[in-house]
Amino acid sequence: MDTTFEKDFESAVASGSIPGVVLMAKDATGDRIDYCWSHGLKTARPDKRDSSDSAMTPDTPMRLASASKIVTTVMALQCVDRGYVGLDDDVQPFLPELAALQVLTGFDASLKPLLRRPKCAITLR
């Protein structure tokens, strides 16, 4: 299946904007992968680009780093949409480990952090 967005990703790889891409989509139950497509290289390093094993595959490990923030945001907003939690609700009942968090207010003369309890609840907003 050659779709417009696949061609867009192929162009991004060809232009060097991204080294490679893997796209996957599951069915509504989340039990079955309905769509899987990969293109490009699994390395951004030019000296490794001629290697025969450098093709991006669905099993290629990737470093997500801050990319997980969008996944977390989507999941949290799905919970809001389904009525499990409100944007202004305290999230501590769902994440009890947040109860111990403190707010950094500065440092003392010996560079020890100065901390205080939060003045308001931690919410999704």
The verdict on whether 68 is a catalytic residue reads no
- CB count in 10 Å sphere of residue 67: 9
Radius of gyration of the chain (CA): 22
Distances, alpha carbon 63 to alpha carbons 20, 22, 43, 98, in Å:
13, 13, 11, 26
Q: Which of 17, 52, 66, 68 is catalytic?
A: 66
List residues with catalytic annotation.
66
